[in-house]
Amino acid sequence: MKKIINTVDQVENQMVEGMVKAYPQYLKKLECGNVVVRADKKEGKVALISGGGSGHEPAHGGYVGEGMLDAAVAGAVFTSPTPDQIYEGIKAVATDKGVLMVIKNYTGDVMNFEMAREMAEMEGIKIAQVVTNDDVAVDGSLYTVGRRGVAGTVFIHKIAGALAERGGELEEVRAVAEKVIAGVRTMGMAIRPCTVPAAGVPGFELSEEEMEVGIGIHGEPGTHREALKTADEIVDMLMDKILADLDYSGSEVAVMINGAGATPLMELFIVNNRVFDILAEKGIKVYKTFVGEYMTSLEMEGFSISLLKLDGELKELLDAKADTPAFKA
Amino acid sequence: MKKIINTVDQVENQMVEGMVKAYPQYLKKLECGNVVVRADKKEGKVALISGGGSGHEPAHGGYVGEGMLDAAVAGAVFTSPTPDQIYEGIKAVATDKGVLMVIKNYTGDVMNFEMAREMAEMEGIKIAQVVTNDDVAVDGSLYTVGRRGVAGTVFIHKIAGALAERGGELEEVRAVAEKVIAGVRTMGMAIRPCTVPAAGVPGFELSEEEMEVGIGIHGEPGTHREALKTADEIVDMLMDKILADLDYSGSEVAVMINGAGATPLMELFIVNNRVFDILAEKGIKVYKTFVGEYMTSLEMEGFSISLLKLDGELKELLDAKADTPAFKA
């Protein structure tokens, strides 16, 4: 295992410390563990909390700040945070207007966030939740019942976060998050695996001629493995599946081309070149495009495409001010 | 060679097309080749132009926009753009106030930008230039006489771009760029190489236990190769060299932890954790930190540390509004 780290048991702590030291204007870390919250708590708004295993940086700590999240909870690499950790995060950011939990659909995450919710409700905290499940590749996989929550989650942070920031009530913020979940679809692929530090060996292996299609953000198997194709052929395959899953015809969309961690930005732009052309052919208008690393998988090499169907409300909230380490609008 | 591309001869074109399709609000492409300019030309300001070989994305097209560059010229991967290309870029953005060329110190880049400058001057365009050379690793290397220009160049784009945006004269913008060059130092390392598409094989090879210290952004050799150390030990080694090169004592600094392309963000934060502590020990105050991919080398895995010495003027210009695809402030 070749990594730029110190010891395997310190990667999460030192990552969170390094992030907070980079962005003291945005973040502070709670004493109780790897939970980051806004440097200045904002009262009078619905608080958004998200999180999950580490290894997906900048998700989710990079999205803590004005117009997005109030707290992010980081578990061990690719491992759900504990209910206690999540509960501490909730307590730190809860306001009278309540708390919305944004949970990616993985069995461990859902279970632990829901346990934390019960703990918080016993303390009288008003709380609601949404579960993101944007990955169209497979229905049920290694760590999940139902579809997996992947890069499209960042659109929930952005849009629900914007409504919370402008004073939306808990039920309104939850409803707009559900609207985003209903309109966002994602599919990914990879050409090289990643290695969880504590495991020391890659999560899967691919030959020099193979790719994994429909892969999850922890390297979980997708729909199938096949010979590596050209970028355009790969995009065609992923877009076919996304567009078959939801009717985007006549819509305006936001596009996210998300790098898995080790993919050169050059290749992500080559991918976008084709995505844009496919959408143009189909009369689907691109309102805004995001290309970069939004929800990574350590040093996995690959990408995902997310499409979000927009209406007037979602466009306005997507464009609203956001000021966080990893997302500014 | 395992890459997400179509054909080797189309990587640069399709990358630039994909970038412009992603960011039409910021960028347009000139007809004459891989030159991107601001979507809306701004008159009455000094125009900034930069560029170099492709493969360093988001440099430099990602920095075209308000408060930074007016044009970016992209050569083939790791190959200088031609004088004609650069000249077309200059002509497209030149104003009465003149043009500043920001050139990274590589022999081909300097030669071709200077030839373009001569062509532009014959057309009566007022033009000045600065050459960045922030890499402290080696004095002279594979493609360069003198020190190489690397990630610190992004600070020149930001700070000189801010002064140009607020109406600075050509000589003032050039002078502030020189001030940044005088105060910025960078050093990098890598644990895995990258493959230029047209070459098809990695630019160098490292065993599973080795790292290259002081590497350039094209994978050029640095100071030496040695056994891979811990993140903290690597940072100590790079910081020793940077801090020995320029006296930062008592200064405030901006820090950039730049990923080479395939380095997980988690590892860059672990690096920053140590950089911050070293600076704190030495009484050097961190004013602002940037962690991410600013000047990459395709899928090379490694990072560089840049330190920029700040004064009141530089802090104000660093904080001034920037609105570009890859850098917002």
Reported as a single tens digit per residue, the pLDDT across B129-160 is 999 999 999 988 888 889 999 999 999 999 99
Instruction: Say whether pLDDT at A127 is over 90.
Output: yes
Predicted local distance difference test score (pLDDT) of residue B104: 98
The answer, yes or no, to whether residue B32 has pLDDT greater than 90, is no
| Whole-number pLDDT of residue B89 | 98
The closest alpha carbon to A293, from A253, A261, A250, belongs to A261
DSSP A60: T
What are B83-116's pLDDT values in tens digits? Answer: 999 999 999 999 999 999 999 999 999 999 999 9
- Tokens 């995060």 correspond to A89
Average pLDDT over chain B, rounded to an integer:
97
Question: For residue B71, what pLDDT is reported?
Answer: 98
- The yes-or-no answer on residue A224 being catalytic is no
User: DSSP readout, B196-213?
Assistant: -TTT-SBSS---TTEEEE
Q: Which residues of A fall within a CB distance of 8 Å from B67?
A: none
The amino acid that residue A67 corresponds to is G
Which A-chain residues 211-250 have CB contacts (< 8 A) with chain B?
Answer: 228, 230-232, 234
Q: How far apart are CA B19 and CA A291, in angstroms?
A: 9
CA of B273 to nearest chain A CA: how many angstroms apart? Answer: 4
Give the per-residue SS3 of B5-56.
Answer: CCCHHHHHHHHHHHHHHHCCCCEEECCCCCEEEECCCCCCCCEEEEEEEECC
Give tens-digit pLDDT for A226-242.
999 999 999 999 999 99
Q: Which residues pair with A21 in a beta bridge?
A: none
B66 in contact with chain A, both atoms CB, cutoff 8 A: no
Q: How many CB atoms lie within 10 A of CB B14?
A: 22
Closest CA of chain A from B298, distance in Å: 5
Q: Quick one: average pLDDT of B185-205?
A: 96
Cβ separation of A18 and B276 shorter than 8 Å? Answer: yes
> Among A6, A269, A300, which would you mutate to test the B interface (most chain B Cβ atoms within 10 Å of its Cβ)?
A269
What is the interface pTM, i.e. ipTM, of the complex?
Answer: 0.98
| Closest CA relative to residue A222, chosen from A287, A321, A303, A142 | A142
Please identify among residues 69-88 of chain B the ones whose CB lies closer than 8 Å to any CB of chain A: 77
Choose among A237, A278, A189: nearest CA to B18. A278
CA–CA distance, B205 with B188 (Å, rounded to integer): 17
Confidence (pLDDT) at A32: 87
- In this structure, the dihedral spanned by the alpha carbons of residues B88, B90, B95 and B100, taken in order and rounded to 10 degrees, is 180
Alpha helices in B153-311 (DSSP H): 153-165, 170-183, 231-245, 265-281
The percent helix, strand, coil of chain B (3-state, each to 5) is 35, 30, 40
Q: Which residue in A2, A273, A326 is closest to B14 by CB distance?
A: A273
- Whether A140 shows a pLDDT value over 90: the answer reads no
State percent of chain B over pLDDT 70: 100
Report how far residue B12's alpha carbon sits from residue A267's, in angstroms, rounded to the nearest whole number.
10
Distance CA A193, CA A211 (A): 10
Q: Does A285 touch chain B (CB under 8 A)?
A: no
Using alpha carbons, select from B241, B247, B200, B197 the residue that is nearest to residue B222.
B241
- Measure CA B109 to chain center: 13
Q: Where on the phi/psi map is residue B200: left (φ > 0), alpha (ψ -120 to 50), or beta? A: left
Per-residue pLDDT band at B250 (split at 50, 70, 90): very high
Q: How confident is the model over A201-213, as pLDDT tens digits?
A: 999 999 999 999 9
Give the CB-side neighbour count of residue B2, counting CA atoms within 13 A. 16
Distance, CA of A50 to CA of A109 (rounded, Å): 10
Instruction: Clarify whether A218 is annotated catalytic.
Output: yes
**Residue A141's pLDDT band (cuts 50, 70, 90):** confident
Whether B257 contacts chain A with CB within 8 A: yes
Per residue in B207-221, pLDDT tens? 999 999 999 999 998
Mean pLDDT across B16-25:
98
Torsion (CA) B73, B74, B76, B78 in degrees, nearest 10: 100
Q: What percent of chain B has pLDDT over 90?
A: 96
